[in-house]
Amino acid sequence: MQVLAFHYVMKNFKKDIPLDIVAELANMNPSSFSRYFSNYHKKTFTKFLNQIRIGYACKLLIENNQNIGSICYESGFNNISNFNRIFREIKKMTPSEFLDLHTLKDSFT
């Protein structure tokens, strides 16, 4: 992914990011960008974006006292069920289990 497109994604991952906008920043049409991205990164653009969002959600879960619902929306997801499903796909646990695990670790340090 070209630098401009990467910076755009990192700056705007909390918002809706249409593929055509990122493709335009990379000076490609959406289907070419999607194919290039998948071949180069071995994952789809959507999966990449979701991994960034879930990483940010993990950071918020560990550092803040916000509830999971507000973290879902703050991380760029549009609904809690989609957030929970993708979180479980990526982290192999629910957001609640992740929070419990890190709360438990913190109590031992």
pLDDT along the chain (109 residues), means of 10: 83 95 93 93 94 97 90 96 98 95 67
Tell me the pTM. Answer: 0.89
What the block records as the tokens of 65 is 């006292």
Residue 64, pLDDT score? 79
Sort 3 into a burial class: Cβ within 10 Å, 0-12 / 13-18 / 19+: exposed
DSSP helix/strand/coil, 10:
helix
Task: Tell me the helices (H) and strands (E) count for the chain, helix number first.
Answer: 7, 0
Handedness of CA 40, 44, 49, 54 (dihedral sign): negative
